[in-house]
């Protein structure tokens, strides 16, 4: 029988049932999911608000810094963010780097012909105004919009820098968890049998290890750092995701397109990468915001307990700890708690919107 004479399957140009009203026909599943996500106004706005906060915090050095962008003193130009001049170069008596909060330096810069262009917040996360008149922690004022912490550091600058540390740590922990979870779940779900059984027994044993005790032990042996926390938390953050991926692979490996790929002679890894994995990404994508929320809460909790990043590094957990130790200093606790709640709320709204967008039962 001549195969060319076989009639092609009949196709009907019907409107795309998954595409929203007014959308172009024949959209890909990802395009339809993006359109459904945009229709969820709350989640869509939450995404852009979180992106805006992330951009601001990523550019923190250009927004909150005790060093000016550019300065001019007696005809000479300085760029302190690149090279901070000495106190003597600006009319002082010392050869140390200039302190731009020094009233004497400020008065010299204010003279005719001299000037300095500061950032919006003229404090960094670690700078301390040694010439402040109030005891620390100081209340909000014109020089410190949200007050200072117990060490005299500007609270608003600490919040901006601490938010950056928390969010980027969450991104890094989320990516490592995805990489390990995808690999473990894909191998178990696709091959099944003894490999799946051995993997499940290993996960059960691994989950029985007390994670907090392990962190306490390592914190007592090694100097706390973000890298150490990332490695330790990554060892346990992949388990929940691997279960979702395993379930998707177990469901998809028996479908017709996988059988057809095997019949064409593709290797197992080619089938996994080209065919099964793209059709198993829905739970992974919807899992991302919630995994990131868990990572931020984990870092905040460890910092609060003193097991997180070193003290000079700005963190939301350290500010909450300071607020607990200084209950009368409400300006430490309230803004920090509000920022943490807002971040988790935005991630939750984005996660709910993603879950609805990739739910094919909703049009």
For residue range 33-55, list pLDDT tens digits in order: 888 889 999 999 999 999 999 99
pLDDT of residue 283 exceeding 80, the answer is no
pLDDT of residue 358 exceeding 90, the answer is no
Q: Give the lowest-confidence range in 17-31, 239-253, 312-326.
A: 17-31
∠ CA(317), CA(134), CA(57), 5° rounding? 35
Residues 321-332 have a mean pLDDT of 91
Q: Give the lowest-confidence range in 18-22, 160-164, 338-342.
A: 18-22
The token pair at 10 is 């009949």
pLDDT attached to residue 214? 84
pLDDT of residue 10 exceeding 80, the answer is no
For residue range 67-125, list pLDDT tens digits in order: 999 999 888 999 999 999 998 888 888 888 998 988 888 898 888 989 899 999 999 99
pTM value is 0.83
Q: Give the lowest-confidence range in 273-277, 294-298, 319-323.
A: 273-277
233, 180 contact by CB (below 8 A): no
């Amino acid at each position: 029988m001549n195969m060319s004479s076989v009639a092609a399957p009949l196709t009907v140009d019907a409107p795309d049932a998954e595409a929203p009203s007014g959308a172009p026909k024949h959209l890909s599943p990802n395009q339809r999911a993006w359109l459904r996500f945009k229709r969820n106004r709350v989640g869509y706005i939450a995404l852009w608000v979180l992106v805006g906060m992330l951009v601001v915090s990523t550019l923190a050095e250009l927004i909150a810094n005790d060093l000016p962008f550019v300065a001019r003193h007696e005809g000479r130009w300085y760029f302190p963010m690149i090279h901070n001049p000495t106190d003597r170069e600006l009319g002082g008596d010392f050869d140390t780097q200039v302190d731009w909060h020094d009233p004497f330096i400020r008065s010299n810069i204010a003279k005719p012909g001299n000037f300095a262009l500061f950032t919006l917040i003229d404090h960094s996360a670690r700078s301390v105004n040694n010439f402040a008149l109030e005891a620390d922690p100081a209340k909000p004022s014109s020089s410190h919009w949200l007050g200072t912490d117990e060490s005299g550091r500007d609270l608003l600058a600490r919040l901006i820098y601490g938010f950056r540390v928390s969010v980027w740590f969450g991104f890094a922990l989320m990516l490592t968890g995805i990489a390990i979870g995808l690999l473990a779940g894909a191998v178990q779900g696709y091959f099944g049998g003894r490999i799946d059984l051995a993997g499940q027994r290993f996960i059960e044993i691994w989950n029985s290890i007390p994670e907090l005790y392990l962190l306490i032990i390592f914190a007592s042996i090694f100097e706390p750092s973000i890298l150490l926390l990332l490695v330790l938390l990554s060892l346990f953050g992949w388990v929940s995701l691997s279960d979702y991926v395993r379930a998707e692979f177990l469901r998809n490996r028996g479908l017709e397109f996988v059988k057809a790929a095997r019949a064409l002679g593709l290797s197992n890894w080619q089938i996994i990468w080209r065919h099964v994995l793209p059709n198993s990404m829905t739970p992974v994508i919807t899992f991302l915001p919630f995994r990131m929320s868990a990572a931020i809460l984990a870092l905040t909790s460890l910092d609060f307990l003193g097991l997180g990043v070193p003290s000079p590094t700005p963190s939301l957990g350290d500010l909450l700890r300071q607020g607990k130790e200084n209950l009368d200093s409400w300006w430490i606790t309230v803004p920090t708690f509000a920022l943490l709640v807002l971040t988790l709320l935005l991630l939750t709204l984005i996660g709910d919107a993603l879950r609805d967008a990739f739910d094919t039962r909703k049009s």
